[in-house]
């Protein structure tokens, strides 16, 4: 749970959107090279950065490129030459970067990126869901899902430490509009606080004319697997390093985080599992009289890669039922947090393994309200078994209504 | 009498043990380029023959740092390298992009155009062997009309003319563009020295015969370069700031068939097609000469040399 107590060092409270908070995080980290391409709803991150970098007191470069693909390519080139780099994107832009996400992780470059969760086209949608970032699950990037603007700022700073300690790139994820464009009070730490937490980057390898080496060349079957295993092992290390970073950050700022946040889980019979801003709404739901009577607890998954499986088994073992809200879908299977969670819970003994109920909802920016979360919980409490395992909730169109995604000028009956 | 080749450094930055085919046109150019640019150079190469030629992990034939890049993005990788060098005070380090025609004319054209438009401080050498040779000879937009490739197997070969890289780059008004050929090493070295003396985006378009893909004898590589220049297939010229064109070598108008007959890829070309190729080469040459003359008349004082 995020707690706001007076910070020990000088800092100031500002009213910032999630995107402004992201830009401040990158700026306070003294990022040396920023490269980005505009896309709604990421744009205000790079606009804020362009503005902040007018005041940078250290040598820096903002490279305005012609595509997200080139933005990541510039980040790769600048990172492998030893500098601290940052970029931000969303949806189509992230998908365009896909090849280079593999390249960044495979090159073991500590690049930090903010992805603003936006639904994928077609049809064009600028509103939030998680299919963009979750489609990049297997690229070798760590992923952290934020639920407040403060989260975003703090995690961008912490992401640099994780990335530079492990040589694994980190993606900090925030929801479109409900977080990216919603202003709230954010404590902006003093520069010296961030400097104390995050020393200048000291790369373990780089392009250096004094020490020539080739990077990224042909890697035969006798080498490739070991290199990838090292990426996997390094990614797993983040699972242990993040709590340590959280502890250090809490000491400096008074703000405490956990890879998995919990509310009312001590005596919970039913656990609601969420990520992103839905977690904020869910906190209100679990405080209701009904939820307290039914002993409903809340679990927010903050760290998605590496997946905190052991921690989730610890938190959820012995609970009767788990309801997972997914603002995404792996078409033909389930919501992605649901399937990941089920895979983690499989390791529990039968007697302690909860029944798992999946709910896909809130796609393309459809609101996930207090009422719709209550609906999730009622359906979970009332159904003795998760059949079907996944339920799609919140559809507006009546059954049988035309849903083909073509605009033909005819009114769709709702 | 000594020329630019005699003044070249004796240091070999391209070492023995590289993986080029015997007779490959690219290795002499890379060797000369690095002799001119020296050890304070970082090379970035996209997927291309040279990405293999430099060597498989854990080997590299280059004594300078070498960054492999995604196929379509070498100019953007290099822009990142440049940015990092600049913010760390390493302004004297050259950034050299070394790319084939596929990575330049086709899949890399977008990031190339963007780096040129930003006038990124780097030297880009496109070694043009006129097809995707690393993947086994498939057509690119740099493949000339009439040439056989594995993906233009019909009896008339590729039907479309070669894309005009020089005009594309001139349209970006980059500080320096030049064509160079394996057959004219002094011209190559002089142009690279010229490029080295400038800042901003500089591109050399290198005519790079390929024994494998052109079905040509490896002893004819320099000869093919010379014939390409003499027949007007590949004129040698420079363009300053996109608007001042200087022609370096006038074609001798050697018959086109002398150039074609050394290459199996043109075996199916008929005599009327040979004549059409000659007309095309003369028309292109006339356009180039007209442009050079008109630009010199418009701005006589600005014309270099």
Q: Where are the alpha helices (DSSP H) in A200-335?
A: 224-253, 278-285, 289-293, 309-316
Whether residue B62 and residue A212 make contact (CB cut-off 8 A), yes or no, is yes
- CATH code where residue B11 lies: 3.40.50.970
B:108-167 residues touching chain A, CB 8 A cutoff: 110-111, 113-114, 117-118
- CATH code where residue A299 lies: 3.40.50.920
Residue B251 falls inside a structural domain = yes
Last residue of a domain, one of A217, A241, A256: A256
- Chain A within 8 Å of B64 (Cβ-Cβ)? yes
Short-list B82, B54, B11, CA closest to A207: B82
A223 & A347 share domain: no
Residue A412 falls inside a structural domain = no
A112 & A128 share domain: yes
**Cα A47 → chain centroid:** 21
A140 & A167 share domain: yes
A205 & A326 share domain: no
Which residues in chain A are contacts of B114 at CB distance < 8 A?
A: 65-67, 70
Residue A401 falls inside a structural domain = no
- CATH code where residue A172 lies: 3.40.50.970
User: Measured between CA atoms, how close is A142 to chain B, in angstroms?
Assistant: 22
A229 & A371 share domain: no
Task: Tell me the residue range of the domain where A41 lies.
Answer: 10-256
Per-residue pLDDT at A2: 43
Residue A400 falls inside a structural domain = no
A82 & A200 share domain: yes
Residue A405 falls inside a structural domain = no
Residue A407 falls inside a structural domain = no
Residue A1 falls inside a structural domain = no
Q: What is the mean pLDDT of residues A128-156?
A: 98
Tokens of B128: 């043009």
A226 & A363 share domain: no
Q: Are A85 and A59 in contact (CB under 8 A)?
A: no
User: Measured between CA atoms, how close is A207 to chain B, in angstroms?
Assistant: 6
A62 pLDDT more than 70 = yes
Per-residue pLDDT at A147: 98
Residue of chain A minimizing CA distance to B113 = A66
CA–CA separation, B42 and B63 (whole Å): 10
Q: Are B279 and B231 in contact (CB under 8 A)?
A: no
- Chain B within 8 Å of A217 (Cβ-Cβ)? yes
Span B211-221, pLDDT tens digits:
999 999 999 99
Residue A334 falls inside a structural domain = yes
Whether residue A209 and residue B40 make contact (CB cut-off 8 A), yes or no, is yes
A264 & A139 share domain: no
Last residue of a domain, one of A256, A286, A303: A256
Chain A / chain B CB contacts < 8 angstroms: 159
Confidence band, pLDDT 50/70/90 cuts, at residue A405:
low
CA–CA separation, A291 and A300 (whole Å): 16
Q: What is the mean pLDDT of residues B120-138?
A: 98
CA–CA separation, A40 and A44 (whole Å): 8
Q: What is the ipTM of this complex?
A: 0.96
Among A59, A74, A211, select the one facing B80 at the smallest CB separation: A74
A1 pLDDT more than 50 = no
Span A208-247, pLDDT tens digits:
999 999 999 999 999 999 999 999 999 999 999 999 999 9
Q: How many structural domains are present in chain B?
A: 1
Last residue of a domain, one of A223, A256, A289: A256
Residue B107 falls inside a structural domain = yes
Q: What is the mean pLDDT of residues B145-164?
A: 94
Residue A411 falls inside a structural domain = no
Check residue B74 and give left, alpha or beta (phi > 0: left; psi -120 to 50: alpha): alpha
Q: How many structural domains are present in chain A?
A: 2
- Chain A within 8 Å of B2 (Cβ-Cβ)? no
Which residues in chain A are contacts of B57 at CB distance < 8 A?
A: 214, 217-220, 223
Task: Tell me the residue range of the domain where B131 lies.
Answer: 4-298
- Higher per-residue pLDDT: B299 or A266: A266
A168 & A300 share domain: no
Span B276-297, pLDDT tens digits:
999 999 999 999 999 999 999 9
- Chain A within 8 Å of B97 (Cβ-Cβ)? no
A121 & A270 share domain: no
Residue of chain B minimizing CA distance to A224 = B57
Residue B304 falls inside a structural domain = no
A409 pLDDT more than 60 = no
């Amino acid at each position: 749970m995020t707690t706001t107590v007076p910070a020990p060092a000088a800092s100031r409270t500002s009213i910032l959107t999630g995107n402004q908070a992201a830009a401040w995080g990158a700026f306070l980290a003294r990022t040396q090279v920023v490269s980005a391409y505009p896309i709604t709803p990421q744009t205000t991150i790079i606009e804020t950065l362009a503005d902040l970098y007018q005041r940078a007191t250290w040598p820096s470069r903002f490279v305005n490129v012609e595509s997200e693909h080139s933005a990541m390519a510039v980040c790769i080139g600048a990172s492998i030459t030893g500098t601290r780099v940052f970029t931000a994107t969303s949806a189509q832009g992230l998908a365009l970067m896909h090849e280079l996400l593999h390249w960044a992780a495979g090159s073991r470059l500590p690049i930090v990126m903010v992805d603003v969760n936006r639904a994928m086209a077609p049809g064009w949608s600028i509103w939030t869901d998680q299919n963009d970032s979750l489609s990049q699950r297997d690229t070798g990037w760590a992923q952290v899902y934020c639920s407040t603007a403060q989260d975003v700022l703090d995690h961008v700073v912490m992401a640099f430490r994780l990335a530079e300690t492990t040589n694994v790139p980190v993606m900090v994820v925030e929801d479109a509009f409900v977080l990216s464009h919603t202003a709230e009070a954010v404590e902006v730490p003093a520069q010296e606080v961030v400097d104390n937490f995050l020393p200048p980057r000291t790369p373990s390898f780089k392009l250096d004319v004094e020490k020539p080496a080739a990077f990224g060349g042909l890697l035969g079957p006798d080498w490739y697997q070991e290199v990838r295993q090292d990426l996997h092992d390094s990614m797993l290390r983040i699972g242990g390093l993040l709590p340590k970073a959280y502890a250090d950050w809490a000491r400096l700022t008074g703000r405490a985080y956990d890879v998995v946040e919990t509310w009312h889980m001590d005596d919970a019979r039913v656990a609601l599992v969420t990520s992103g801003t839905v977690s904020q709404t869910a906190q209100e739901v679990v405080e209701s009289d009904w939820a307290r009577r039914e002993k409903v607890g809340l679990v927010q998954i903050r760290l998605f890669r590496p997946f905190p499986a052991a921690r989730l088994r610890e938190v959820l073992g012995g609970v009767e039922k788990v309801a997972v809200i997914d603002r995404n879908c792996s078409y033909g299977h389930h919501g992605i947090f649901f399937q990941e969670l089920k895979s983690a819970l499989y390791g529990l003994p039968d007697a302690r393994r909860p029944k798992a109920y999946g709910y896909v909802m809130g796609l393309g920016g459809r609101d996930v309200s207090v009422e719709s979360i209550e609906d999730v919980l009622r359906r979970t409490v009332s159904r003795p078994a998760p059949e079907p395992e996944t339920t799609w909730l919140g559809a507006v169109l009546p059954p049988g209504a035309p849903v083909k995604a073509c605009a033909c000028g005819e009114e769709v009956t709702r | 009498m000594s020329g630019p080749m005699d003044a070249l450094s004796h240091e070999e930055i391209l070492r023995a043990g590289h993986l080029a085919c015997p007779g490959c046109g690219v290795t002499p150019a890379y060797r000369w380029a690095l002799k001119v640019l020296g050890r304070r150079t970082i090379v970035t190469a996209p997927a291309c023959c040279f990405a293999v030629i430099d060597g498989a992990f854990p080997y590299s034939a280059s004594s300078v740092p070498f960054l492999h890049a995604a196929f379509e993005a070498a100019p953007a990788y290099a822009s990142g390298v440049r940015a990092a060098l600049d913010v760390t005070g390493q302004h004297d380090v050259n950034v050299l992009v070394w790319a084939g025609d596929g990575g330049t004319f086709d899949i890399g054209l977008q990031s190339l155009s963007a780096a040129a438009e930003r006038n990124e401080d780097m030297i880009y050498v496109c070694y043009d062997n006129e097809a995707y040779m690393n993947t086994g000879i498939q057509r690119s937009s740099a493949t000339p009309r009439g040439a056989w490739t594995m993906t233009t197997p019909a009896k008339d070969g590729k039907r479309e003319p070669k894309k005009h890289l020089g005009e594309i780059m001139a349209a970006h008004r980059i500080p320096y563009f030049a064509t160079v050929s394996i057959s004219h090493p002094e011209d190559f070295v002089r142009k690279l020295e010229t490029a080295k003396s400038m800042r901003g985006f500089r591109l050399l378009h290198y005519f790079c015969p390929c024994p494998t893909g052109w079905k040509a004898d490896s002893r004819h590589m320099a000869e093919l370069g010379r014939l390409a220049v003499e027949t007007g297939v590949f004129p040698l010229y420079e363009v300053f700031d996109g608007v001042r064109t200087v022609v370096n070598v006038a074609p001798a108008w050697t018959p086109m068939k002398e150039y074609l007959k050394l290459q199996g890829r043109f075996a199916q070309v008929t005599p009327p097609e040979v004549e059409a190729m000659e007309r095309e080469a003369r028309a292109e040459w006339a356009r180039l000469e007209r442009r050079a003359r008109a630009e010199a008349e418009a701005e006589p004082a600005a014309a270099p040399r």
